[in-house]
Structure 1
């Protein structure tokens, strides 16, 4: 039975906050999730680091607003690579160098894709969905990552193939207001969307079985 979730939907090079987040169409990106007492602050980071990336993370820090970050999760493609998603760089940009940090690299089976920024063909690896404690091949390198606030620690983080994620409605008024107020920088502000999936099933990623603690 189809399920529709209304979530803060954080697309490429956007940041947002809420108790339910989605990071759609992740093919080379990472989902960065800061766990606060009452909400999550998320960043959808594309590969590499540019001047606009500094602006993006400054916006995330503003959303955190001096509140305590209890945990930091980084999940995505090539997490840990200095060229793609450097963990220390992300921690420092968020002011979270000393925060308990958990990482998950969706980097398992070779897939050749085209980097949308450079145009170069790069060696990607496809996520493998865990069933119990056994990984089975999942023929996809394009995912949607969901995150749900469950308290100061241990958010629920799950994965769905992008082919099974359908955005049915988004807050166009908020998008227009953000653009009118801040121009192109306003495009870094995520808005709520209704996302429909064929069922409520997600490949939930376990904090201890799937993520690796680095701090």
Structure 2
């Protein structure tokens, strides 16, 4: 049975905010999502295997700043990093965003999930979705192969296609069959961030 979500679609190197976020076209990327009250703020990071904050690539530094700017004065209580984390350093991304014992958001929960082992037999990219009920609970995180999803029109773009929909706008996303829910095995990053 198809699952329909009204979500903000975040393209590669994009940033968005909503209760529901959708990250399509992920094959080496990772989704970085902050929970701030009743909303989610997320960014779609391209691969960067930096060893420390100073060696982050310019595109990563720019996206970290855009996500911080989107957050503004709000205080996030959770950070989720989900995707092909083998191509990233989740603890470093958390540190760059101000999480960890020495950061601005020392009390936030820090969690990561490397999806690469689950989808290693896929020969195509995946879509990761986050849904937040706003009740203080952890958002649900799902994934599905991109070929099993259909992107539909937005209110202001009734002729949306795969190529022009990924612009951070709220969209109707239809997932053929039930998506795969990530239930457990999130890694606690707090000790790694310091």
- Both proteins in one fold, TM over 0.5: yes
Output one character per residue of 1:104-160: Cα deviation in whole Å (capped at 9) or x when no partner.
Answer: 11222xxxxxxxxxxxxxxxxx627xxxxxxxxx53451100001133331111111
* Mapped contact 1:11–1:23 kept (Cα < 8 A): yes
Report the TM-score, using the length of structure 1 for normalisation: 0.70
| Offset of residue 69 of structure 1 | 1.0
Match of 2:113 in 1: 104
Output one character per residue of 1:73-119: Cα deviation in whole Å (capped at 9) or x when no partner.
Answer: 11111x2x5xx3112321122212233211111222xxxxxxxxxxx
Match of 2:16 in 1: 16
| Pair 1:41-2:46 in alignment | no
Q: Say which structure is richer in strand.
A: 1
| Offset of residue 67 of structure 1 | 1.2
Report the TM-score, using the length of structure 2 for normalisation: 0.77
Instruction: Give the alignment of 1:72-83 within 5 angstroms.
Output: 72-77=79-84, 79=85, 81=86
Match of 1:197 in 2: 175
In structure 1, how many angstroms separate the alpha carbons of the residues matched to 2:61 and 2:169? 20
| Offset of residue 167 of structure 1 | 1.3
Report the count of equivalent residues.
168
**RMSD value over aligned CA atoms?**
2.2
In structure 2, how many angstroms separate the alpha carbons of the residues matched to 1:55 and 1:93? 11
Match of 1:212 in 2: 187
* Mapped contact 1:10–1:44 kept (Cα < 8 A): yes
Output one character per residue of 1:34-74: Cα deviation in whole Å (capped at 9) or x when no partner.
Answer: 11111000111010143132222211111211212111111
- Listed as ranges, the gaps of 5+ residues in structure 2 are 49-55, 101-105, 158-165
Match of 1:152 in 2: 136
- Listed as ranges, the gaps of 5+ residues in structure 1 are 109-125, 129-137, 174-187
In structure 2, how many angstroms separate the alpha carbons of the residues matched to 1:171 and 1:27? 28
* Mapped contact 2:11–2:167 kept (Cα < 8 A): no
Cα distance change on mapping 1:26 and 1:193 into 2, 3 Å:
same
| Pair 1:52-2:52 in alignment | no
In structure 2, how many angstroms separate the alpha carbons of the residues matched to 1:163 and 1:2? 13
